[in-house]
Structure 1
Amino acid sequence: MSSVSVGGPFTLVDDQGRTRHGDSFRGRYMLIFFGYANCTDVCPQTLTEMSEALGTVDPDARRIQPLFITIDPTHDTPQRLRAYTAAFSPTLIGLTGTPSELGAVERRFHVVVEPDASNGRDGFDHSALIYLVGPDGQFIAPFPAASGRTVLQAALRRYVPASADRRS
Structure 2
Amino acid sequence: MSFLQWIRYAAWIGVGLVAFLGAAVLLGWWKVDGPGRLQAGRASVQGMPTIGGPFTLVDHTGKLVTDADFRGKPMAVFFGFTHCPEVCPTTLVQMANLTSKIGAAADRLQILLVTVDPERDTPEQLALYLQSFDPRVVGLTGSREQIAAALAAYKAYAKKIPTDNGYTMDHSASVYLMKADGSFRTMIDYHEEEASALAKIRMVL
C-alpha change, 1:67 and 1:58, in structure 2 (3 Å) is farther
Mark the runs of 5 or more structure 1 residues left unpaired by the alignment. 162-168
C-alpha change, 1:100 and 1:124, in structure 2 (3 Å) is same
Out of 119, 134, 142, the residue aligned to residue 89 of structure 1 is: 134
More helix by share: 2
Please state whether the residue corresponding to 2:180 is helix, strand or coil: coil
**Between the two proteins, what is the percent identity of the paired residues?**
34
Offset from partner CA, 1:107-131 (integer Å, 9 cap, x none): 1111111111245452111111100
- Alpha-carbon distance in structure 2 between the residues aligned to 1:142 and 1:60: 19
1:29 counterpart = 2:69: no
TM-score (normalizing by structure 2)? 0.73
Instruction: Look up the equivalent residue of 1:46 and give its one-letter code.
Output: T
Counterpart for residue 100 of structure 1: 145
Checking the alignment, whether the CA contact within 8 Å between 1:53 and 1:150 is kept in structure 2 is no
Matches within 5 A, 1:115-126: 115-118=160-163, 120-126=165-171
Counterpart for residue 176 of structure 2: 131
- Alpha-carbon distance in structure 2 between the residues aligned to 1:15 and 1:60: 25
Checking the alignment, whether the CA contact within 8 Å between 1:8 and 1:108 is kept in structure 2 is yes
C-alpha change, 1:137 and 1:38, in structure 2 (3 Å) is same
Instruction: Look up the equivalent residue of 1:2 and give its one-letter code.
Output: Q
Instruction: Look up the equivalent residue of 1:160 and give its one-letter code.
Output: V
1:113 counterpart = 2:158: yes
Report deviation, 1:9. 1.0
- Alpha-carbon distance in structure 2 between the residues aligned to 1:149 and 1:75: 32
- Of structures 1 and 2, the one with the larger relative CO (CA 8 A, separation 6+) is 1
Matches within 5 A, 1:1-168: 1-3=45-47, 4-58=49-103, 62-118=107-163, 120-157=165-202, 159-161=203-205
Please state whether the residue corresponding to 1:75 is helix, strand or coil: coil
Checking the alignment, whether the CA contact within 8 Å between 1:86 and 1:92 is kept in structure 2 is no
C-alpha change, 1:68 and 1:58, in structure 2 (3 Å) is farther
Checking the alignment, whether the CA contact within 8 Å between 1:117 and 1:123 is kept in structure 2 is yes
Report deviation, 1:34. 0.2
- Alpha-carbon distance in structure 1 between the residues aligned to 2:82 and 2:120: 8
Checking the alignment, whether the CA contact within 8 Å between 2:186 and 2:200 is kept in structure 1 is no
TM-score (normalizing by structure 1)? 0.88
Aligned-residue Cα RMSD (Å) equals 1.7
- Alpha-carbon distance in structure 2 between the residues aligned to 1:127 and 1:143: 11
Which is greater in Rg? 2
Please state whether the residue corresponding to 2:94 is helix, strand or coil: helix
Report deviation, 1:79. 1.0
Please state whether the residue corresponding to 2:191 is helix, strand or coil: helix
Checking the alignment, whether the CA contact within 8 Å between 2:185 and 2:204 is kept in structure 1 is no
How many aligned positions are there?
Answer: 160
